[in-house]
Structure 1
Amino acid sequence: MRMELHGVCRTLCEARQLQLFDEMPQPNPFSWNTLIEAHINLSHRKKSLELFHAMPHKSHYSWNQLVSTFSKSGDLQQAHNLFNAMPMKNPLVWNSMIHGYSRHGYPRKAILLFKEMIFDPLETMHRDAFVLSTVFGACADLFVLDCGKQVHARVFIDGFEFKHDKVLCSSIVNLYGKCGDLDIAVWVVGFVMDVDDFSLSALVSGYANAGRMSDARRVFDNKVDPCSVLWNSIISGYVSNGEEMEALDLFNQMRRSGVRGEFPAVANILSAASSLLNFELVKQMHDHAFKIGATHDIVVASTLLDAYSKCQHSHEACELFDELKVYDAILLNTMITVYCNCGRIEDAKGIFQTMPNKTLISWNSILVGLTQNACPS
């Protein structure tokens, strides 16, 4: 009832705003922006866009509002259309577009847009620490180290004091660590005035990716009171390198130390239990995940489904899936495999047929399942 009243109040407020706006003899830019912002806050993106196009004199603030709104919502085509139409771009719209592409899974487009800034001398002022960090992340996601080095060089050319910016520093360390150039990653960490846990976490992950767990552990052990991010990195490193028992020991240490934010750690330990085919440990972690509210986390749920399946307990996996309300491609792919493994082919087909974005893994999962169950494709 409260939610219904809230919706009615919002509708009435919107109607009142429109009435007041229509009664104004000559609405000024502030009035236009206020009304547009009201529609944005009500998630009425189409209406806000209509008002924007009707606005006689568009300000930088108006452009920023719309580009940021459509970029954050994932409507990148509309955001880019507005971006291209903007007569003179400012730092906020550049940041909104580049971050939007990176955030919604288009790192290559984020990098290409950043290169437009580099080759346009008028856009030098727009290269700030935030957008640089986003581009470093995009380069790391694509494992394009040479491109990342070019961006790093741009940091020096533009005179950024990245040793004072922890976010920028950690993104640079993450780039070199993920791409395997650990010498440079260590140099960057040593160059920073006050290295934080995020930079150390990126370095630990880099060492783990290279199989150098003794170096990763040395970095971890040298940090006093590591935060959850650093704990998760070292635990994940041990799991990915096949040292599940060490990961379990560290997880228990983390819990005893009172560090919170365990969702990623729970997913890592479930992966360890899955590798060990330890059903009892999977059950214990399921109970723990339920207590801390992690069972509806997409990553934890997907890992838990996979763990039950590998331990030959598909019934528990099916029960958990039925309780979930949010899905992603990874979780659905896992469930296709689970259903195929327990002979529920029609359920597997149902998931596959209704998936909005089928990946190569999706196709492989359903084809392998059909083959194993001797079903015609």
Structure 2
Amino acid sequence: MLASLPIQVYQSKFQCFLSLKSSPPIEKENKSGFLNNNRRKPKRILKSPCFSFPDPSIPSQTTQNSVFDDSNQNPDASIYELLDPDFLSHSLRSCSTLREVKRLHAVVLKGFRRPVTFVDNNLISTYVRFMRIVDAERLFDGMRDRDVVSWTAMITAYSKTGMEDEVLQVFERMVEDRVVANGSTYVCLLNSCSRRSDFDLGKQVHACVVKGSWSNLIVNSTLVHFYARCGDLEAAFRLFDSMPKRDVVSWTTMVAACAQHGHGGEALSLFAQMQREGVRVNEFTVCSTLKACGESKDLKFGRQLHGASIKKGLMLDVFIGSSLVGMYVKCGQVVDARAVFDSMPRRNTVSWTSMIAGYAQNGVAEEAINLFRRMKKRRILTNSLTVVSILSACGSISSLCLGKEIHARILKYFTWSNTHIGTTLVWFYSKCGEYKYASRVLKDMPLRDVFSWTAIISGYAQNGVGVEALGSLSDMMWEGVDPNPFTYSSALKACAKLEAIREGQWIHASANKRVRSPMCL
């Protein structure tokens, strides 16, 4: 019966429920309820007891009981007459603060004789919106009846906070309870598989989607993103081509995937096809296409996108500005990159890092160092790419003092688990002739790959320490790391300086055996 009442009538009933018995009645002019702000307000505003708790999570018993003081009315009957799950759910979605959520939760706890799954699901989703995962867990664990929406709400909660293991655990419990998943559940699972790069589990989820006929635009776009993120571009294209309808998200996913995997030309072709089909691009599409322009060194296409971005007023977007800087840097146009950088109203870490990397890669190390000092003065956070770029600049001009300063910064703010940083440090010290420091850094690295070993071997060879270079090659192979052509080339240079013909012949034979594609050693 209540479900059929107009929302204005029900709001009025809900206001009466929340009002103290001793409070004066609301004027007839405000019949539409407490959510209507357009009408003239009464002189005395009623204050809801349930919205006046000192601690919203612990309503006082006196205040709760004051709602039910009417001896002529059954409290439970009054509650069921006044509280409607649809209206409460609407109110929860309208909450702008956690305090309001807690107060409505208190109303639900007191107002319903038995838990209402629909309301509890909305409470879980609201707690997740405010990132109150512990409160959502507590409510979920206390539910007697959980449907697919309840399970999906918790999976979404863990997925949003990056708790990938918990996502899978909740899904396993859901399967054990024989609850059938829906499209939203599969979207959350696929996103989790993408972040974990769990290809096998993602394929199983795809099979469940096909078996349950849950394919739709959102699910298919998520599947395309999953395959692209895991590096299976063939499967991503196959699924993308089979989609009956494609939106800007699915198109952007494919453009970004091609750009990230070095297929810049394919990404630009997709962007052109997207334009022909009349799909409106967004900021993410532009950023991905600019990255593709940089990868394929297509400066002309990049300039056209730059002009279109100015025309459409997108240059205020910090991500598009950073992508433009990166595009010009990769195309070797450092002056244009700096012009875009200086014109940006806001800059983030990516913007600064792209410009520093551009200077370092194009042999303008002094400008890279000056820009890094400006970045430090403005207290802008650095990331691993910033560190690698400035170390490259320091190494190219043998600036040992600044490099050691960066090394100290690495020890303070970063971990040795980042192999890229460790390898760059080894290269930097080798470039500066400090091969003892380089050797120490290499030993401290928990994980050494072929690039780390090649950096130290190359450093030894360049500094005329051939014996240590050959010793490092032996240690590298003992650890089970296969040398690449550059490793063999550096080792052969060491043999040449030592005039070690026998060792050189052995390295040459090993290279012919291990390296698939022959190259000039």
| Structure-2 change in CA distance of 1:366 and 1:232 (3 Å) | closer
Matched ranges for 1:1-377 at <5 A: 28-30=147-149, 41=163, 43=165, 55=178, 57-87=180-210, 88-104=214-230, 106=231, 109-110=232-233, 112-122=234-244, 124-125=245-246, 127-129=247-249, 131-157=250-276, 159-162=278-281, 165-192=282-309, 193-195=313-315, 196-261=317-382, 263-293=384-414, 297-325=418-446, 330-331=451-452, 334=455, 343=468, 348-352=473-477, 354=479, 362-364=483-485, 367-368=488-489, 371=492, 372=494, 375=503, 376=506
Q: CA deviation at 1:270?
A: 0.9
Output the amino acid matched with 2:422. A
TM-score (norm 2): 0.55
Q: Which has the higher contact order (CA 8 A, sep 6+)?
A: 1
Comparing 74-83 and 134-143, the one that deviates more: 134-143
SS at 1:320 equivalent:
helix
Find the aligned partners of 1:37 and 1:171 in 2 and give their Cα distance: 27
- On the 8 A contact 2:147/2:179 being kept in 1, the answer is no
Count residues with an aligned counterpart. Answer: 347
Comparing 67-76 and 363-372, the one that deviates more: 363-372
Find the aligned partners of 1:225 and 1:64 in 2 and give their Cα distance: 34
SS at 1:86 equivalent:
helix
Q: CA deviation at 1:354?
A: 4.7
- On the 8 A contact 2:297/2:331 being kept in 1, the answer is yes
Once the two structures are superposed, residues 155-191 of structure 1 have per-residue CA deviations (whole angstroms, 9 ceiling, x without a partner) of 33554432xx322221122222332222322222332
- On the 8 A contact 1:80/1:97 being kept in 2, the answer is no
Q: CA deviation at 1:76?
A: 0.9
Output the amino acid matched with 2:267. G
| Structure-2 change in CA distance of 1:213 and 1:93 (3 Å) | same
- On the 8 A contact 1:337/1:348 being kept in 2, the answer is no
Once the two structures are superposed, residues 183-235 of structure 1 have per-residue CA deviations (whole angstroms, 9 ceiling, x without a partner) of 32222233232322322232223322332222222222333453332222222
- On the 8 A contact 1:336/1:352 being kept in 2, the answer is no
Larger Rg: 2
| Structure-2 change in CA distance of 1:74 and 1:334 (3 Å) | farther
| Structure-2 change in CA distance of 1:97 and 1:338 (3 Å) | farther
Structure 2, unaligned stretches of length 5 or more?
Answer: 1-133, 511-521
Find the aligned partners of 1:224 and 1:34 in 2 and give their Cα distance: 39
Q: CA deviation at 1:319?
A: 2.4
Find the aligned partners of 2:153 and 2:378 in 1 and give their Cα distance: 49
SS at 1:343 equivalent:
helix
| Structure-2 change in CA distance of 1:175 and 1:86 (3 Å) | same
RMSD: 4.0
Output the amino acid matched with 1:321. L
Once the two structures are superposed, residues 17-56 of structure 1 have per-residue CA deviations (whole angstroms, 9 ceiling, x without a partner) of 7xx99xx8x9754576579789995727876676566536
Structure 1, unaligned stretches of length 5 or more?
Answer: 1-9
| Structure-2 change in CA distance of 1:120 and 1:250 (3 Å) | same
Output the amino acid matched with 1:265. T
Q: CA deviation at 1:307?
A: 0.8
Find the aligned partners of 2:164 and 2:276 in 1 and give their Cα distance: 43
| Structure-2 change in CA distance of 1:74 and 1:345 (3 Å) | farther
Find the aligned partners of 2:221 and 2:295 in 1 and give their Cα distance: 24
Once the two structures are superposed, residues 233-257 of structure 1 have per-residue CA deviations (whole angstroms, 9 ceiling, x without a partner) of 2221121111212222222232233
Q: Higher helix share goes to which structure? A: 1
| Structure-2 change in CA distance of 1:36 and 1:329 (3 Å) | farther
| Structure-2 change in CA distance of 1:213 and 1:354 (3 Å) | same
TM-score (norm 1): 0.73
